[in-house]
């Protein structure tokens, strides 16, 4: 009986997510094409603070090669209990609805495509399979995120929209984390520390750096806060030697590292992260430099691999960012008027 109740709750959550998310996707297909987003993932703040992060010079007219495009596939599960997750993922085309993945598609020159695959894994996971170049989203992980989002929304008096926000924020971060593994592998990028920490930093950098007219930097910061909650929820604090020896940092450490990156990207804009206790003041003192250094280093590593078609001069990049910020302001004013 308990199992049936849980399945019923999950089914209701899936229906809610599908209806809201599916409607959002449909709306986008009816709206005029948005203004082009920034092709180079370098934040305007970082550009002003550190001129060493200059974009790659504009290409010559004959250099118009596009980057490597990704592939996407949804594999039917063997377990009938996962059919709801398969149907939801395929109906809303979840792998193509993640903004940073969409912007990376064709933006870099890679030796082979990255293949994004949703499949049954018989374990709760998202992982990069180096031998195939696949990034696999397990339906079991999708199911876990749906359940977690439902629990959080119910506990806080939230709605299906809050559940959807939690699901999307975590999918974005976790799939970008695995994309980081793929880029380190395919581009043979150097990492002198733990790769798991490095690709956490890359995922955060990309979310903070790819700016669109649909989301402000504040919107992205809030979604990174939702993504960081996953690390606390899955960290019970009971760690044995095997957990400390794992290549991943413990969940609480990943949570605070992410807080530092967000706060450090603009301390004047996000003082509440420290005031609320989500980041200790002692750590916060070093976060601006830490965030700037991490962003600079990742941009230096990725910059040479940007496809010629998407390279911009510093002036073009600044003009693009200013246009995006102008559109963001227009969208905010329109929303306030409603």
User: Which of 222, 250, 223, 248 is CA-nearest to residue 236?
Assistant: 250
Q: Is residue 167 exposed (0-12), middle (13-18) or buried (19+ Cβ within 10 Å)?
A: buried
Residue 138 lies in a domain: yes
- pLDDT values of the chain reduced to their tens digit, one per residue, 338 residues: 433 333 343 444 444 444 444 434 333 433 333 333 333 343 344 334 443 333 444 444 445 689 999 999 999 999 999 999 999 999 989 999 888 999 999 999 999 999 999 999 999 999 999 999 999 999 999 999 999 999 888 888 878 888 888 998 999 999 999 999 999 999 999 877 889 999 999 999 999 888 677 778 888 888 998 888 888 787 766 666 666 566 666 778 899 999 999 999 999 999 999 999 999 999 999 999 999 999 999 989 999 999 998 887 778 777 766 776 677 666 666 655 65
Contacts for 264 with CB less than 8 Å, ≥ 6 apart: 284, 287, 288, 289, 290, 291, 292
pLDDT score, position 245: 65
The answer on 53 and 71 residing in a single domain is no
Q: Which residue has the tokens 């750590």?
A: 283
The answer on 71 and 52 residing in a single domain is no
pLDDT score, position 56: 43
Residue 182 lies in a domain: no
Residue 129 lies in a domain: yes
The answer on 75 and 55 residing in a single domain is no
The answer on 258 and 200 residing in a single domain is yes
The answer on 318 and 223 residing in a single domain is yes
Residue 184 lies in a domain: no
φ, ψ of residue 216 in degrees (nearest 5)? -85, 170
pLDDT score, position 335: 55
User: Which of 129, 222, 138, 225 is CA-nearest to residue 178?
Assistant: 129
CB 207 within 8 A of CB 224: yes
Residue 285 belongs to what domain range? 40-62+189-338
261 CB neighbour count, 10 Å cutoff: 24
Domain-ending residue, one of 156, 175, 210: 156
CB 249 within 8 A of CB 197: yes
The secondary structure of the chain in percent helix, strand, coil, rounded to multiples of 5, reads 60, 5, 30
Domain-ending residue, one of 156, 172, 204: 156
The answer on 129 and 19 residing in a single domain is yes
CA–CA separation, 292 and 51 (whole Å): 11
The answer on 208 and 147 residing in a single domain is no
User: Which of 197, 196, 218, 182 is CA-nearest to residue 302?
Assistant: 182
What's the pTM? 0.75
The answer on 136 and 23 residing in a single domain is yes
Residue 229 lies in a domain: yes
Residue 302 lies in a domain: yes
Hey, what long-range contacts does 305-308 have (CB within 8 A, 24 or more apart)? 305/108, 305/109, 305/110, 305/187, 306/39, 306/40, 306/56, 306/67, 306/107, 306/108, 306/109, 307/65, 307/66, 307/67, 307/68, 307/106, 307/107, 307/108, 307/109, 308/59, 308/63, 308/64, 308/65
The answer on 128 and 17 residing in a single domain is yes
User: Which of 222, 218, 185, 219 is CA-nearest to residue 202?
Assistant: 185
Residue 113 lies in a domain: yes
Residue 126 lies in a domain: yes
The answer on 149 and 117 residing in a single domain is yes
pLDDT score, position 20: 40
The answer on 145 and 15 residing in a single domain is yes
Q: How many domains does the chain have?
A: 2
DSSP secondary structure code for residue 135 in this structure: E
Domain-ending residue, one of 156, 179, 202: 156
The answer on 116 and 86 residing in a single domain is yes
């Amino acid at each position: 009986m308990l199992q049936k109740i849980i399945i019923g709750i999950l089914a209701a959550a899936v229906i809610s997510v599908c209806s809201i998310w599916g409607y959002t996707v449909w709306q986008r297909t009816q709206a005029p094409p948005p203004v082009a987003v920034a092709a180079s993932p370098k934040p305007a703040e970082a550009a002003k603070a550190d001129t060493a992060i200059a974009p790659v010079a504009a290409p010559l007219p004959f250099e118009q090669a596009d980057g490597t495009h990704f592939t996407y596939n949804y594999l039917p599960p063997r377990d009938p209990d996962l059919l709801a997750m398969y149907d939801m993922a395929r109906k809303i085309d979840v792998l193509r609805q993640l903004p940073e993945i969409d912007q990376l598609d064709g933006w870099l020159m890679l030796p082979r495509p990255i293949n994004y695959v949703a499949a049954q894994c018989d374990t709760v996971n998202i992982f990069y399979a180096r031998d195939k170049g696949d990034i696999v989203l397990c339906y079991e992980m999708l199911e876990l995120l749906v359940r977690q989002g439902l629990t959080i929304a119910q506990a806080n008096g939230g709605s299906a929209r809050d559940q959807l926000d939690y699901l999307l924020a975590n999918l974005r971060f976790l799939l970008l984390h695995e994309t980081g593994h793929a880029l380190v592998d395919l581009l043979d990028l150097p990492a002198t520390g733990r790769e798991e920490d490095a690709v956490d930093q890359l995922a955060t950098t990309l979310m903070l750096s790819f700016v669109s007219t649909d989301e402000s930097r504040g919107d992205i910061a809030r979604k990174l806060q939702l993504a960081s909650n996953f690390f606390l929820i899955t960290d019970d604090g009971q760690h044995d030697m095997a957990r400390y020896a794992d290549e991943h940092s413990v969940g609480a450490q990943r949570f605070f590292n992410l807080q530092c990156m967000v706060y450090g990207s603009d301390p004047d804009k996000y003082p509440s992260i420290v005031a609320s206790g989500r980041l200790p003041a002692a750590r916060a003192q070093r976060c601006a430099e830490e965030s700037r250094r991490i962003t600079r280093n990742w941009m230096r590593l990725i910059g040479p691999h940007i496809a010629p078609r998407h390279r911009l001069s510093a002036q073009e990049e600044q003009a693009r960012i200013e246009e995006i910020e102008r559109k963001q302001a227009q969208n905010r004013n329109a929303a306030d008027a409603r």
